[in-house]
Amino acid sequence: MSQREARRRPLIEKEILKRIDKLAYLKTWFPPGATEALEIGPSVAPMLRSTDSLRVRYMESESTEDIRKRAERTGKDPDRVPEISFVYDPAVTLPELVGEESLDMVASSHMIEHSYDLLGHLKEVRDCLKPGGRYLLIVPDKQLCSDICRPPSTLGEAMATHMLGPKAALLASEIDSARYRVFRPNGLGWWNSDFTNELSPKQNWKAQVQQAVEGFENDSSNWSGHNWVFSADSFADLMCDLAEIGELDLGLVDILPTGHMDFIAVLERKHNPIKPIQARQFREAAVQRLAEVNYASGDRRYTKAPNVQSD
């Protein structure tokens, strides 16, 4: 067993990972010798910090000053907010900002579900990564948040949004959130709850759907919720599907449910284009990992690792 595997093992065996555990686990997936990194959406609590050997830049939807003001309003330490290197501009791609094949790793936490074009975002990240570079992700788990009743995002949705544009998909996300999003009866948030009865006080869902439609028609929608919904297994399935059909040249090399809000995923840009047999091997490894940690979900299409056959 390698030193990295030895460091991962006690974290894998934990039922619930705290934030410090999640960051420690992700650190075991830093590419060896990494010197250049980008974190997207650090808000007031970045995952990565620069060191003597690693330069970390940050991208956000707001300026450093605006995020620090928001931190103060919400009772958080504004000094923890990093200096924002890039303010998001949909007209500028990631490779245009940082350069192609310029990064050893990209990281994001609770960000990717807000992206307008999921597949487009992943392709941009891929183009920024050096061969062997990795995208380290923490993603909300629909089983542990108010998305529990929303259907998981599909291959068709990801590809259609990328090909035809996000406008219709954004409206669909806002409508689905109005219809399916749920809260505990006491009004508290859903994170980490194992409460599964009386899931949906949805008395006002029809009015919320109508409001979403009217905002879309009047071009006044300010929707900023989850555009993409995943469980750990549905995310693994989607990433492997995209790789297997040649739409995404990033391999899913690890996935781990945290039992606390979310799951961890690691995508890697390989030195050579991913072949279908490799994508199926990624899928097999993901299924085995999720079985190992007893991750139960109805979103997985495979209940056991499929046979891997050569092409």
pLDDT, one tens digit per residue, over 229-276 is 999 999 999 999 999 999 999 999 999 999 988 999 999 999 999 999
pLDDT surpasses 60 at 302: no
What is the CATH topology of the domain spanning 3-143+228-292? Rossmann fold (3.40.50)
Q: How confident is the model at residue 310 (pLDDT cuts 50, 70, 90)?
A: very low
Please list the residue range(s) of the chain that carry CATH number 3.40.50.150.
Answer: 3-143+228-292
Q: Minimal CA–CA distance to 133: which of 54, 254, 57, 34?
A: 34
> pLDDT per residue over 104-126, tens digit each?
999 999 999 999 999 999 999 99
Residue 260's pLDDT is 87
Q: pLDDT per residue over 6-48, tens digit each?
A: 999 999 999 999 999 999 999 999 999 999 999 999 998 999 9
Q: Taking all residues of the chain, what is their mean pLDDT, rounded to a whole number?
A: 90
What pLDDT is recorded for position 182?
Answer: 80
Q: Given pLDDT bands bounded at 50, 70 and 90, which one contains residue 311?
A: very low
What's the whole-model pTM score? 0.92
- pLDDT tens per residue, range 122-160: 999 999 999 999 999 999 999 888 888 899 999 999 999
Rounded distance, CA 179 to CA 201, Å? Answer: 11
Res. 196 pLDDT band, cuts 50 70 90: very low
Percent with pLDDT over 90 in the chain: 78
Q: In what order do the strands lie in the sheet with 103-109?
A: 86-87, 55-60, 36-40, 103-109, 129-140, 262-268, 251-257
Highest mean predicted confidence (pLDDT) among 73-77, 190-194, 200-204, 227-231: 227-231
